[in-house]
Amino acid sequence: MKRVYYITIIMISIMYLGFAVKTDEQISDEKIDKRIDAILSKMTIEEKVGQMTQITLEVISSREGEASSLVIDADKLKEAIVDYKVGSIINTGGAANTLDDWQEIITSIQDAATKETRLGIPVLYGIDAIHGANYTLGATLFPQAINLAASRNKEIVKEGGSITAYEVRASGIPWNFNPVLGMGREPLWARFWETFGEDVHLTTEMGKAYVEGQQGKDISDKTKVATCIKHYMGYSVPKNGKDRTPAWIPERFIRDIFLPPFAEAVKTGAFTAMVNSSEVNGIPAHSDYHILTEILKGELNLKGFIVSDWEDIIRLHTRDRVAESPEEAVKMAVMAGLDMSMVPYDYSFYEILVKLVKDGEVPESRIDDAVRRILLVKYMLGLFENPYPYTELSDGFASEEFTEANLNAARESITLVKNENNILPLSKTSKVLVAGPTANLLSVMNGGWTITWQGNNEELYPKEKHTILEAVQEKIGENNVIFREGSSFEEDINSAEAVKMAEKVDAVVLCLGEPTYCETPGNISDLALPDAQLMLAQELAKAGKPIVLVMVEGRPRVINKIVDHAEGIVVAMLPGMEGGRAVADILFGDVNPSAKLPFTYPRNVNGYMTYDYKPLEVFDVNEFNPQWSFGHGLSYTEFEYSDLKLSGKNFSVDDEITVSVTVKNIGDREGKEAVELYITDLYGSVTRPNKQLKAFEKINLAPGESQEVSFTLNSDDLSFIGRENTRIVEPGEFIAAVADLQAAFYLK
């Protein structure tokens, strides 16, 4: 008896030792799993499918117009939450709400969810806060992603993500449909500016920094939100350039170019992903088991859930016609791996899926998996502890500190691409003519997803913010500034008068570009800047005064006809709410520009190429001849690069390679420089790109100051997707290049 007792004790101790080496993380994972299992075991099929159903705020509210406040309809709210057991609500209900209104809206939704339903599961509210809390009035609205990428400053991206999270969470919302991790490799695409540009490494690093900033270490922190990486995957390169049209991307390029930013974001802790609204290789992404389940949930091991994009499940039937009925569409999407449907206008998804499960068409185990994932995110966000807004965050909302960070981001995100005869910076004692359709509007600097979806209701913009014109007036005094629009986006207005005025000034600041748009309404068929604007530049040139061109645009509109007419060119893209001030700071030298293009600016409408082109693209008569390449960007000071050194000449796959270089500011003013390391793989079994960015760092140097910058590479950085569609590393010769310095090394 005693022996049995001892043996039992020993065995228990051994078992305990065996299992006791659990990490804290495993223990807390298990605790969460248990809580989720406990809830799941009590849920009916209806309650489970309700959790998978997402509707838009419009369904349960009304509003008179974009300028008035939104009113929640109590009956419709009850219908959604109690009758249909809806687990998620999104969007803004037509236009931005005040912080107080948001807090009230979220409170009434959570009241219904936690007090009036059987299980009291909180609602997961989601929003598109893509450049700050753009659907909360008065929020800190940052430069759009394309600008953040130009800054080459990961800290700025991280801080932007963090401030956005604060203001979104202050609005009572814990889930943000951002970052966009599609590659900006089709400049015609209306959502080009939502991307971090054309480069894989840059997008991967900026996406990672953004996720870190938004989520911090723990998304239950009241100043953090859950990210939703989107649009997974391949949405950004429609073959005909129009939003939501088919892409053709072979698996090799999917894995080489499009997957890495998503993989890194999931590794960094992104919990949710939204699906590409379009189709790749003839397969609508919402029906693609391979992409959703095998790659995203399998290979990448996404812990949270996958949400559809707007109406996209039903569109498998109504638009794409891969499903013969709405029922088939729902079954197809759910079985492909979709966990939540952004329905978002009705309860059709709920009704259909409940029936499919009851009829045995969709196994309950699949919806259990989906609901488990959704509940996990709700738990991780701490919604079961407190689903309500943290009103104490209101005080810090849009603080001066946040505005300063935003202004700094804008300043670092604007690229100086041409500065003939050092025309810039302009003297503060000069008289200038400000002209062009983007000179006196805030909307054009912010782009879509600002206050409204299209972002184009100028009346709703905060009056105290500065347009470019206002910022220039403030900088050099109203008396020194004349304004004539000259042309609208498409038509001449008073160009003749503008030319006359140009004769009277020292320089012309000509602000051209695009009106505000997003998604499909922003589709265009011609990348060239409209004639009226080109004409305005050509006419103004006749006045014989130096022209400084400021391009305010979401995509690189072709301007080769006027580039020679301008001595200075600033590519401002979409610098956000402080963009006016930032542009003026650069034009008049209070800020030294430090951005580099995150995309290749095409010279011609056709023949667009990215900087990482293949050998054939420059063979024979072919050439790479863009207006400006990826990585181009000027400063008011000059940097000299020297001493490019490698930690060796021959490496094996397990070695790390250190590349260092010395950068010196040899000009006479302080400046920031983005130091970039490029690698060329000379020979490969699959054709190798011209060169590829592999590391970058932004530094600040006083006049005369120098700094050594070093980067570490490993074999991953030299790998690529081979003929078998798997990631491989091949031995051979490589070239490391920083600025115009180069060094060769060999991989054994």
Name the residues annotated as catalytic: 309
Contacts of 601-607 spanning 24+ positions with Cβ under 8 A: 601/417, 601/556, 601/571, 601/626, 601/627, 601/628, 601/629, 601/632, 602/187, 602/527, 602/556, 602/558, 602/626, 602/627, 603/558, 603/560, 603/627, 604/558, 604/560, 605/526, 605/527, 605/528, 605/558
Task: Give min distance, CB of 89 to ligand BGC, in A.
Answer: 12
Contact yes or no for 405/148 (Cβ under 8 A):
no
Task: Give min distance, CB of 91 to ligand BGC, in A.
Answer: 5
Contact yes or no for 151/206 (Cβ under 8 A):
no
Residue 523 near ligand BGC by CB under 6 A = no
Smallest CA-to-CA distance from 604 within 553, 659, 533, 529 is with 529
Residue 519 near ligand BGC by CB under 6 A = yes
Site for ligand BGC in 61-90 (CB under 6 A): 90
List helix spans (H) across 283-396: 289, 315-318, 326-336, 348-358, 364-380
Q: Give the nearer residue to ligand BGC in terms of CB position, either 231 or 632.
A: 231
List helix spans (H) across 555-667: 560-563, 579-587
**DSSP assignment string, 399-418:** -HHHHHHHHHHHHHT-EEEE
Residue 341 near ligand BGC by CB under 6 A = no
Residue 277 near ligand BGC by CB under 6 A = yes
Residue 195 near ligand BGC by CB under 6 A = no
Contact yes or no for 342/308 (Cβ under 8 A):
yes
Smallest CA-to-CA distance from 232 within 249, 209, 216 is with 249
The DSSP output letter for 70 is P
Q: Give the nearer residue to ligand BGC in terms of CB position, either 177 or 696.
A: 177
Task: Give min distance, CB of 178 to ligand BGC, in A.
Answer: 8
Q: Give the nearer residue to ligand BGC in terms of CB position, either 361 or 519.
A: 519
> What value, to the nearest 5°, has the Cα angle with vertex 656 and ends 655 and 657?
115
Task: Give min distance, CB of 604 to ligand BGC, in A.
Answer: 30
Give CA torsion, residues 586, 155, 557, 470, to 10 deg: -40
Task: Give min distance, CB of 127 to ligand BGC, in A.
Answer: 8
Residue 350 near ligand BGC by CB under 6 A = no
Pairing state between β 53-56 and 88-90: parallel
Task: Give min distance, CB of 531 to ligand BGC, in A.
Answer: 31
Q: Give the nearer residue to ligand BGC in terms of CB position, either 274 or 510.
A: 274
Q: Give the nearer residue to ligand BGC in terms of CB position, either 315 or 372.
A: 315
Amino acid at 380: M
Residue 128 near ligand BGC by CB under 6 A = yes
Task: Give min distance, CB of 177 to ligand BGC, in A.
Answer: 4
Q: Give the nearer residue to ligand BGC in terms of CB position, either 310 or 384.
A: 310
Give the per-residue contact string, 614-653, with ligand BGC (x = CB under 6 A; - = no): ----------------------------------------
The 3-class secondary structure across 653-720, one letter per residue, is CCCCEEEEEEEEECCCCCEEEEEEEEEEECCCCCCCCCCEEEEEEEEEECCCCEEEEEEEECHHHHCE
CA distance 48 to 39: 10
Interface pick for ligand BGC out of 54, 88, 91, 308 (rule CB under 6 A): 91
Residue 177 near ligand BGC by CB under 6 A = yes
Q: Give the nearer residue to ligand BGC in terms of CB position, either 231 or 596.
A: 231
Amino acid at 224: K
Site for ligand BGC in 310-329 (CB under 6 A): 310
Task: Give min distance, CB of 457 to ligand BGC, in A.
Answer: 13
Residue 419 near ligand BGC by CB under 6 A = no
CA distance 374 to 385: 16
Total residues in contact with ligand BGC, by rule CB under 6 A: 11
Greatest Cα-to-Cα distance within the chain, rounded to the nearest angstrom: 110
Q: Give the nearer residue to ligand BGC in terms of CB position, either 520 or 725.
A: 520
Residue 453 near ligand BGC by CB under 6 A = yes
Interface residues with ligand BGC (CB under 6 A)?
90-91, 128, 177, 230, 274, 277, 309-310, 453, 519
